[in-house]
Amino acid sequence: MIIFPAIDLKNGEAVRLTQGDYNQVKVYFKNPAEVLEFFKKNNSQYLHIVDLDGASSGKTENFETIKMLVENSDLCIQVGGGIRNEERIKKYLELGVNRVILGTAAIENPEFLVEMVHKYKDKVAVSVDAHDQKVAVNGWKEVKSIDSFEFCKTLSDIGVDNIIYTDISKDGKMSGTNIEIYRRLSKVIKSKITASGGITYKDEIIELKSLNIYGAIVGKAIYENTLNLEEIIKTAE
C-alpha cells in the first residue's frame, strides 16, 4: 500500500482544515518548499496536493506554488482542486504531475469524465468526498443527493483507475478514519481505492493494508506527530 503525505494549499501556504471547514485552518508551513525536506527526510516517494482555493473557486489558484513543488522534488505527485477542464489536466501533466484528480467535474459533467478517463487512463483519478455518505462538491461546500457508495460503483464501471474516498466527518479530527466504508468498497469496487480522511493510528494503516486498499492519504496526523511518516511507510510496504 502506498502512503501519500498530503499538502493542502491555501493562499500559497501548506495548511490543514478540520472537516473541510475553510474557517478552521491551521497553517503548518508558510513556505510549502519546507515540507519537501520533511518528506525527503522520512523517505517518502509520493505526495498528494490539494489546491483548496482552486477547489472552492474552480480555478488553478495555487498553480505557481504547485509548479515550484514539482520542479524541486522527485516525488510522484498527484494534484486535485479546481481541475474542471481538459486544458487544466494537460497543464498539470505537462508540468510533470503524475496524476490529476477530478472531483466536482466528475459529478457535474459525467460525459467529460468518461472522455478524460478513456483518454488519460490512470493519469486521472476521481475524488469522492462524502458527508453522511452523500457526495459533496465545490470544496465540500455543497452536498448533493447522490449516494457516494453507489457513485463509486458507477466510477468503477466506467473504468476509473483510482478512487480517492474521503469521509468529510472524519477529516482533520484526529479521531480515526471510517474503516467500515473501505471494507465495503473493497468488496464491490474493481478500481484501486485510496483512503482519505482522519487516518490517525498505525493500526488503521495495518487494517487498510489487509483490505488490499491501494493507498492511504495522511495529513494532520503526521504534522502533529501522532503518526511517524517513515514508520508507516515501512508498515504499508
Catalytic residue list: 8, 129
Report residue 210 as a C-alpha cell: 489487509
Phi/psi for 121 (5° steps) reads 50, -120
Q: How many CB atoms lie within 10 A of CB 187?
A: 8
Report residue 37 as a C-alpha cell: 525536506
- C-alpha–C-alpha distance, residues 46 and 74, integer Å: 9
- C-alpha–C-alpha distance, residues 92 and 147, integer Å: 30
Could you tell me whether strands 192-196 and 21-29 are parallel, antiparallel, or unpaired per DSSP bridges? unpaired
For residue 63, the Cα-to-chain-centroid distance in whole angstroms is 17
